Amino acid sequence: MEWGGEYSLDSSNLDCLLSVLPGELEFQQVLSDLDEKIKKNSSSIEQCLKDLQSEVNEVCTDEILQSATDCLQWLNNCNFSSLRPSSTHHGELMEFLRTLQSLLKNEQNQEEMILHFLLDLSSQCGVSFPCTPSGTSFELTSSLHAVEDDSTMDVKSLWNDVRLHLRRFLVNRLQSQEETNTNALQQQVEFKTQCIQQLLFLYPEAEVLTKYQNMQNKLVSDLLQNCILSSCGETNFDKVVHGYQSSIPTLCTMIKEDLYILSGTIDPSSSLKFINETYLDTITEEMTVLLERLCELQFKENALHIVTANKISKKHRGTVHAVASQEYHRKGRNFCLTLYQLRCLSQLIKLFLLMEEKIEELSAEILLVPSFTEKNKNVQGVLKKASGELLIGETRANETSVLPEQLLQVEEPILLNFGWRNAFKDLSSSVAHCITIAIEDFSTKILQHEQKEEFSAAGYAMSLVNNRQMRESCGAVQQEEQPKRIAKFCSDIMEELDTLLPLALACRDDSLQEIRANFVEACSKVATAVLARLEEKSKDIPSKAPLQDLYAALSTAIFVCQHFTMYSSLMRETSKKPLFLVPVQQYQEFINVLQFQVTSYCVRVCATSILQDAESHHWDDYKAFYEGERCSFSVQMWHYFCCALHHDLWTILPPKTAQEILTDVLEQSLAMLSSRYCQACPSYKRTPQIRIDITAVLMSTEDMLWSVCSSVQEFLNPHEDRDLKIYKIHSHCNSLLSVLAILTSPLKTLYETFLNNSDEHLPQDFSKVSYHPLNWLFCIPSPCSSLLKTSSAREMAAQGQLKLLLSQPYCNLNLLLETLLHHDCLLVKILLRSSGNEVLNRDEQSSLLEQINNKQPTLIETIFTVLSYCTLSPKSLGIAFETYMEKEQLWNRLYNMTVSSCSESEPEVIRCLKLTLINSVKGIVKQIISLMHSWEATENYGTYQHKQIVPESLLKTVPKEWNYTPREMKRKESGKCFTRLAAQAVSIVISKLPTVIACLPPPIKYFFFLAERKMSRNFAELKKAGLLVWNLIVIICRIFEDGNTAELLTGATLDRWSKEKLSLVRVCLESIMGKLKSGPKQVTQKVIQSIEQQRPNWIESQLLKARKLSTDCASVTVEGAMLEEGGIALGLTEQKINMMVLDICHKPGGSEYLRQIYHIIQLNEEYLKEQLSCENSEGVTSSQCLPLTLKGREEQPVFNPLQVHRQSCAKVFNQSTITEWNWDWSNLLPSYLGLNQMTFRVLLAHRWEMKEGAELEDEEKVMVEHLKNVYLTQSTPTSEDKEE
């Protein structure tokens, strides 16, 4: 049957998978597209069945099929005995085969031409060439033309000779392909698939697979032996590990290749059987032999050591005890392994575990089959194959029809079976014994070494190391919970345990259970020993060891607990009961105790040492403290202590724990300060000191508050039910501010605020007035008021957002993204504005060139990628890049993007947009090229056009009954198919455009919507389809125009014919978009007219639909944004930010991009603060754009008391700022009308004017007397009230 150009067969192939959650419009478009494809495919299938029905009715005149159902039943129960044979004369057949044989023997390089010629005969004429097993009798038959049953041994020998020659040719091609192995994976797979399919045309499936299996089997054996056994000298564990390290990646590539080849050739069960027998069984056998040899050598070596040990002495040798060796030697073939050998075995097992996981992924991805771990699960079974052979001729005729009941027979499904664990069975008992000894030995040595260092060291401080990252496979420990620095001895022990962990992870059957049991038991003992050591160290603090050791012990305990939790999680698949339950519980209890100990110790130090200052707190003294120009020593030392604590916690402990401890210490120490200052009764000269002290405490607290709050909401809106400790901190600060206001405010202002001059009773609204928890932040002489907007707006300024981000103990991704999107992406705009100068900085040129050469994303590319992932904030990308695009004059460059290789001069934004659009149309390009290939395969053009034309001598010998028409003659008749092919290709492009746009991320769609409004000229073409649709079609045209780009994009190989046809499709698309300067060619007009005839106005409606999808989504975005007052920040809740961060981190490189931006922000902190302050100064933009620092070394921060002192004097304890601060008493005091009456009376009684004998002026005496009568005389506070 001819190529079905008239059938619009179109797979609903959504290559642009929905990587984002679609909106309602996009979702409707995707569903309608799927529905349309299903309807088209069903109608095409019906048409195919009708055509088949008519052909069968023509051939089988005795059996007329009435409907499509009859046709399907006939195909299911097809019995070729009902076909009328059309005889082929024996002499003609002999002549034809002799000509084939002569050409193959006498002419060179004729094999490929003859193979295609035979395939052409089979497909065009229905001739079934026999593919019986080698050495068996056969018949040459045809589904439409059968040969007479007088075939002799001459015909058989001739055909066998022909196909044997062709088989050798194909096998040689396969082997030569293996030797070169330089082609890309996809090309190599296509080539091998074609060779195997041609072999299946000549020989039965079983024989072909056996031959190919033998080839691959030899390759695997040679690879393993060359990598492992060819090394000079005797084999040892080290060589085995290095050998498999180099060979396993190659083996995985070979398995992946064969899975792809077999998936298009045979059924999944046969493919898995092939992989099992060819690769997995061979690897297991080679590994078994190798380990047996190693065991033999090790056994002899141990025996020699035992004899030597008996003659010389019975010394303890490393990790192996001689006594234990003798005992195991007497038991049998057991021997002892050193720690190094155990490491090698563990590394080897780790390689096999990774290989097993990789093969599982490949089989599930390519064949959609269960994994190794699903063997024991309930499987429904598979349909049994009706016949494993290719039935032809008389065999088919004699075959009885297969009943449906037989087709539904259930058999045991074939699954992957990698038995590499069996190779380690002989080693299991030795490994199980030696692993216990090895773990106990190295842990004891490390602990003893640590103890010796402690006694010999003068400082007694614990040696710390940076914590390496946890296993990514665990995924349980978030960054905020990972310790930063831990004890070195513990790090060394856990590193060794990590090395030996694969020995325990390999246990899936009973033979290796002993290894895991001994590993768990030995680890539990080590955990107990380490815990005892940490407990011992914690008891030495602070008498013998510094306070930092307490933080280190806590961090180390958390590290060990997380590690054993991870071990338990990794081994949960093979263990029914939880492992390490007791050690984990012990460590959790110790961690809780230690965290409480750290907090209570710090608070106790503040209470008993730091805040005990008799000179500063002598409130009755009639002399001013340092002339009233500085705060108390205790307050200053409390600030230094908090700074040092902040540094130690931030550099040692996990971020979350560090914030918890600092919050507890800050809250409890503020509670003490609040209590003490509430009880102070200062003299006249000491009253300013109260004001200075409380101001310093509040400013210091404000400086610390940025570090203890982990989110903007926690800072701006502390809630008693959600953030109790933060709420208490605000409460204590407001209490201190009330002390400052009532004790130190001018008497006249206080009197006017709390008395009406006429009323002799308390204000009526005394209990009704309340204040916001953040009230104190807006009253102190601190820059915090500029970092926060009004407290009622509940919004933070851009500078405050940046300070909160950089005050965190780690890279808080949620807070980072919120900062980037905050205030209409103000921070991103500054980064983009400054990134243009990065090349001008000579020091940064090398790093930029490194990024280009290593294909590392630049800052602009990173920002673009992150913002394009922010689907819940679609305006952000356009808003962030709008100013940058205008400054660089890039809007007009979006009109005509090229697809050629990216040049260094091309702007990064354009390159990012181009790559996004190219990826979105990749599926369309693949489908068009697939259409070309399928058309070529049917019409024998392009890749099937053999270089040599079929000789006339061979064509003359083709039996006349076969009615063969040579391709050269047929080619002239099939010119009409060109129009159908181009029409179908153009229809695919136009039909898929709406779906492609629906699947694009909303930020990209909004960016093009914004760009369309920014274009400087009115392009007539854009009015038809819009900028986004225009660019998509332009990119598709550029890909079709450059065949190399199409090959690079899809991995397919295109010949000259395919490139010409793609060029024709390109011209048609350009004509549709009105991009051709000259008039369309006649062929182009025919293509477009054929589409319009079938579906009038369809092209225009599709383009309008695509434009509507792009503009409607963007306009919905704009309308939604207009409802949000103040930009995009207000619409982003914590939940939305969290969802976007999760989405970004699941995208390729997403989390790394965020961390790269964070690192650049850290390096340029001061510059960014300066730029933000200029932006906030009445919208003035700083004209000076300095180059950004893009790289910097991450050094361990060191606490410098002098530096902290200088910073404190400049920020917190700036005496001139504190003493000269103009307190707005008229606004501050009314906010305390709602103060508890008893508290107000106590504080009022503590004022120096209320004391007996105070020197007052007449006016002051009147006011004091009035206040006393109203507040103090009516209800004199008791001692209990004072304490309260």
Q: Give the tens place of pLDDT for each residue, 196-209.
A: 888 988 888 888 99
Cα 1242–chain centre separation:
60
What is the phi/psi pair of residue 1211, to 5°?
Answer: -105, -65
For residues 417, 421, 426, 428, the Cα torsion angle rounded to the nearest 10 degrees is -150
pLDDT band for 1077, please (50, 70, 90 cuts): low
What gap in Å lies between CA 599 and CA 612, rounded to an integer? Answer: 19
In the block, tokens 């590392």 appear at 856
In the block, tokens 């004429």 appear at 125
Q: At residue 728, does pLDDT exceed 90?
A: yes
641-662 residue pLDDT tens = 999 999 999 999 999 999 999 9
Average pLDDT taken over every residue of the chain: 78
For residues 277, 279, 281, 287, the Cα torsion angle rounded to the nearest 10 degrees is 160
455-482 residue pLDDT tens = 776 556 788 898 876 544 445 578 889 9
**How far are the Cα atoms of 101, 175, 358 from residue 164, in angstroms, in the given order?**
10, 16, 38
Residue range 1063-1085: average pLDDT?
Answer: 76
pLDDT band for 447, please (50, 70, 90 cuts): very high
Q: At residue 804, does pLDDT exceed 60?
A: yes
**Low-confidence winner among 14-18, 212-216, 272-276, 1189-1193 (lowest mean pLDDT):** 14-18
For residues 342, 347, 348, 354, the Cα torsion angle rounded to the nearest 10 degrees is 150
Coil, strand or helix: which one is 615?
Answer: coil
Classify residue 788 by its DSSP letter. Answer: B
pLDDT band for 794, please (50, 70, 90 cuts): low
> What are the beta bridge partners of residue 485?
466
Residues 1241-1278 as b/e (b if ≥16 CB within 10 A, e otherwise) read bbbbbbbbbbeeeeeeeeeeeebbeebbebbbeeeebe
Q: Considering only CA atoms, which of 383, 416, 420, 419 is closest in space to residue 274?
A: 416
What gap in Å lies between CA 346 and CA 218, rounded to an integer? Answer: 28
3-state helix, strand, coil in the chain (%, to 5): 70, 0, 30
Q: Spell out the long-range contacts of 1123-1132 with Cβ–Cβ below 8 A and sequence spacing 24 or more.
A: 1126/795, 1127/823, 1127/824, 1128/821, 1128/824, 1128/825, 1128/873, 1128/875, 1128/876, 1128/879, 1129/795, 1129/818, 1129/821, 1129/822, 1129/823, 1129/824, 1130/795, 1131/873, 1132/818, 1132/821, 1132/872, 1132/873
Q: At residue 1161, does pLDDT exceed 70?
A: yes
Q: What is the pTM of this model?
A: 0.83
11-20 residue pLDDT tens = 444 444 444 5
Residue range 355-364: average pLDDT?
Answer: 91
Residue range 742-764: average pLDDT?
Answer: 71
What gap in Å lies between CA 1064 and CA 809, rounded to an integer? Answer: 60
**How far are the Cα atoms of 1236, 1237, 1257, 1265 from residue 1270, in angstroms, in the given order?**
15, 12, 20, 9
**How far are the Cα atoms of 308, 420, 431 from residue 511, in angstroms, in the given order?**
33, 13, 12
Coil, strand or helix: which one is 831?
Answer: helix
pLDDT at position 645 is 94
What gap in Å lies between CA 387 and CA 389, rounded to an integer? Answer: 6
Quote the tokens at residue 214.
């033998």
554 touches 598 (CB < 8 A) = yes
**Low-confidence winner among 140-144, 833-837, 1268-1272 (lowest mean pLDDT):** 140-144
What gap in Å lies between CA 1252 and CA 440, rounded to an integer? Answer: 77
What gap in Å lies between CA 265 and CA 198, rounded to an integer? Answer: 11
Residue range 786-811: average pLDDT?
Answer: 79
554 or 619, higher pLDDT: 554
What gap in Å lies between CA 949 and CA 952, rounded to an integer? Answer: 9
* Helical segments of 1095-1133, H only: 1098-1122
Quote the tokens at residue 1258.
């007449």
Q: At residue 822, does pLDDT exceed 50?
A: yes
Quote the tokens at residue 1216.
């001139």
pLDDT at position 721 is 77
Neighbours of 1284 (CB within 10 A): 13
What gap in Å lies between CA 1150 and CA 866, rounded to an integer? Answer: 7
pLDDT at position 380 is 31
Q: At residue 128, does pLDDT exceed 50?
A: yes
pLDDT band for 55, please (50, 70, 90 cuts): confident
What gap in Å lies between CA 485 and CA 972, rounded to an integer? Answer: 79
959 or 392, higher pLDDT: 959
Residue range 1048-1064: average pLDDT?
Answer: 81
What gap in Å lies between CA 1069 and CA 1080, rounded to an integer? Answer: 11
Name the range with the highest mean pLDDT among 321-325, 1034-1038, 1074-1078. Answer: 1034-1038
Residues 1181-1206 as b/e (b if ≥16 CB within 10 A, e otherwise) read ebeeeebbbbeeeeeeeeeeeeebee
What gap in Å lies between CA 985 and CA 935, rounded to an integer? Answer: 11
Q: At residue 787, does pLDDT exceed 90?
A: no
Quote the tokens at residue 352.
């096999």
940 touches 120 (CB < 8 A) = yes
pLDDT band for 1227, please (50, 70, 90 cuts): confident
pLDDT at position 756 is 58
What gap in Å lies between CA 688 and CA 630, rounded to an integer? Answer: 9
What gap in Å lies between CA 703 and CA 784, rounded to an integer? Answer: 9
pLDDT band for 569, please (50, 70, 90 cuts): confident
pLDDT at position 803 is 92
pLDDT at position 115 is 87
What gap in Å lies between CA 893 and CA 436, rounded to an integer? Answer: 68
Classify residue 317 by its DSSP letter. Answer: B
277-312 residue pLDDT tens = 999 999 999 888 888 888 777 667 665 554 454 444
Residue range 319-348: average pLDDT?
Answer: 64
Classify residue 1271 by its DSSP letter. Answer: I
454 touches 494 (CB < 8 A) = no
Residue range 972-999: average pLDDT?
Answer: 80
The pLDDT > 70 percentage for the chain reads 75
pLDDT band for 1222, please (50, 70, 90 cuts): confident
Q: Considering only CA atoms, which of 291, 326, 303 is closest in space to residue 425?
A: 291
Coil, strand or helix: which one is 413?
Answer: coil
pLDDT at position 158 is 86
What gap in Å lies between CA 97 and CA 103, rounded to an integer? Answer: 10
Cα 779–chain centre separation:
46
Q: At residue 444, does pLDDT exceed 70?
A: yes
DSSP for 235-271, please give it.
--HHHHHHHHHHHHHHHHHHHHHHHHHHHTTS-HHHH
* Helical segments of 60-184, H only: 68-76, 90-106, 111-125, 153-180
What gap in Å lies between CA 312 and CA 325, rounded to an integer? Answer: 16
Enumerate residues 6+ apart whose C-beta is below 8 A from 895: 1015, 1019, 1027, 1030
883-932 residue pLDDT tens = 999 888 888 888 777 766 555 578 889 989 999 999 899 889 988 888 88
Q: At residue 183, does pLDDT exceed 70?
A: no
pLDDT at position 457 is 62
pLDDT at position 68 is 75
Give residue 851's identity as a one-letter amino acid code. Q
Quote the tokens at residue 872.
């819940």
Cβ-based burial of 734 (10 A; exposed 0-12, middle 13-18, buried ≥19) = buried
> What are the beta bridge partners of residue 320?
317
In the block, tokens 């309602």 appear at 24
Residue range 1000-1026: average pLDDT?
Answer: 78
pLDDT at position 1199 is 75
pLDDT at position 1141 is 93
pLDDT band for 492, please (50, 70, 90 cuts): very high
Coil, strand or helix: which one is 190?
Answer: helix
pLDDT band for 878, please (50, 70, 90 cuts): very high
pLDDT at position 45 is 82
What gap in Å lies between CA 771 and CA 725, rounded to an integer? Answer: 18
pLDDT band for 1282, please (50, 70, 90 cuts): very low
663-685 residue pLDDT tens = 999 999 999 999 999 998 998 88
pLDDT band for 188, please (50, 70, 90 cuts): confident
571 touches 579 (CB < 8 A) = yes
1247 touches 742 (CB < 8 A) = yes
**How far are the Cα atoms of 484, 532, 659, 706, 707 from residue 649, in angstroms, in the given order?**
10, 23, 8, 15, 11
928-963 residue pLDDT tens = 888 887 777 665 543 344 445 788 888 888 888 887
Neighbours of 404 (CB within 10 A): 7
pLDDT at position 355 is 93
